[in-house]
Amino acid sequence: MIAVESGHPKGTVGVAQGELARYTDFDISLDSLYVPVGTTITRVKGPSVSRNRNTLALEYFQGEWLFFVDDDQVLRRDTLLRLLAHNVDIVGALYSTKHPPFIPTVFKDELEPGKLYRHAFWSALGASRGLTPCVAVGTGAMLVRRRVFETIPKPWFHWGQGESDDVFFCRKAREHGFKIHVDTNAVVGHASTNVIWPDLDDPPGVAIQMNWLAVKLPNDDDEAAAEHVFDQTLGREGEPQ
């Protein structure tokens, strides 16, 4: 991390790691991340990423905010400063699922409480550039203010009953009066064998970075895609609790 005089208060960058080693691109991007002076970084490793997030918030939180980042994300240097500049309680960066059909990890509305959410389309996100309200956003790159954790009862994150820890947290936050946002200008890569980047330039979709080669895959939000309902796993498999 690179400490900068930004005018923002200090906080904590919390990395929730799985048990297996992940991606070199993540470590390189974390080393280059701009953070306010005094910011700390903590890594918690274990088989349950949701338990790791709870531990980060409960035991290692220092300062006024906690920036959650997963160890398969690829950050741009200004990602955190962009999110801090909005001065809101909960805001996530924009990233895609890392497996096809490469869906935004952003939900625009709730079809059935606690069960089904409808994901946002790339075209709509491209049309609302900047800070955008939503009902849930992925926790792989999410900034949360301290008062959220002081208001919401524990557990803050839980994976179970068809609900991912991301959506569980966002639902609980909304039930306690907090608003959820995504910054569509703060784009983050999602790494597997390739790195998947949101690309909201016309036509909006994703760009797949494969070492020296980058391929753009536009998402036209056709009729078939419009009928697609994405559940709360945010495109990921469940994890042990």
Q: How does pLDDT run across 100-120, given as a tens digit for each residue?
A: 889 999 998 766 665 567 888
Q: How much is the pTM?
A: 0.85
Residues of the chain with pLDDT > 70, as a percent, come to 82
Residue 236: which pLDDT band, with cuts at 50, 70 and 90? Answer: very low
Q: How does pLDDT run across 10-19, given as a tens digit for each residue?
A: 999 999 887 6
Element (H, E) at 141: strand 141-145
Q: How does pLDDT run across 191-204, given as a tens digit for each residue?
A: 888 899 999 988 89
Longest CA pairwise span in the chain (Å): 49
Q: Reduced to 3 states, what is the DSSP secondary structure of residue 35?
A: strand
